[in-house]
Amino acid sequence: MPRALTAEERDLIVYILGPSSPSNGRFHLVEEMNDGGMGSIRFVGSPDRRFGRCVGEAEFHDADGVIVSVALNVDQRGELFELDLWKVDFSPLQRIADLAELRAVTSSRHGTST
């Protein structure tokens, strides 16, 4: 069922994109992904959309101390595609950290496509 972003999801996306990104403020509805409760969401869009590339990553510690890896992906047209959250122990997400707790991640995944 499509829904609006939560304030925490929006803040996380803005953190990854940067405050001056043209995508900020143009957030559409999202759907939760079947990821075992780790918190990943996909932006609602046309059915022909597919993964394009990762545009930014971050990480934080969940309330239980487990690291959460975050990747913001765009589709083949450069539109927001999914916010992928992954806990290293595969347990369900308990919270999205405050902005002060987020750490940017530099990765070799940027610019790759499948």
The DSSP bridge partners found for residue 61 are 67
Taking the C-alpha atoms of residue 8 and residue 96, their distance in angstroms, rounded to an integer, is: 6
Domain ranges of the chain: 7-105
* pLDDT, position 112: 40
Residue 113 has pLDDT above 50, yes or no: no
Which pLDDT tens digit goes with each residue over 44-62?
Answer: 988 899 999 999 999 999 9
* pLDDT, position 1: 87
Q: How far is CA 9 from the centre of its chain?
A: 8
Taking the C-alpha atoms of residue 76 and residue 96, their distance in angstroms, rounded to an integer, is: 27
The structure's pTM equals: 0.85
Q: What is the mean pLDDT of the chain?
A: 88
